[in-house]
Amino acid sequence: MTVYVIEDLEFFKECARTARLKLWRERQTEKGIEIRMRAGSIGFRKEFEKEDPELKKVKEFINLEGFVQIIDVESDDTFFA
């Protein structure tokens, strides 16, 4: 499945409100924290400094909209190996 990554957070939020599949992942980076979200086939990713107030707002949105956190990604053929 293709994910179309966009930069516009407000447009992503509009898409997410009606999406059935809502996933997110948090990764530590050298600069701070990267948040990746997917709503249907639309994706959004951004790196934040740990104390960035926008990061807190994004996490509040994730909780409010019922996103499910991804803890790992693995190919189908190795999942049950």
pLDDT of 10-62, one tens digit each?
999 999 999 999 999 999 999 999 999 999 999 999 999 999 999 999 999 99
Q: How remote is the C-alpha of 8 from its chain's centroid? A: 13
Instruction: Tell me the pLDDT band of 1, cut-offs 50, 70 and 90.
Output: confident
What's the token pair of residue 22? 């809502």
Domains of the chain: 4-72 (3.30.720)
Predicted pLDDT at 61:
98
Predicted pLDDT at 66:
97
Integer Cα distance of 11 and 17 in angstroms: 10
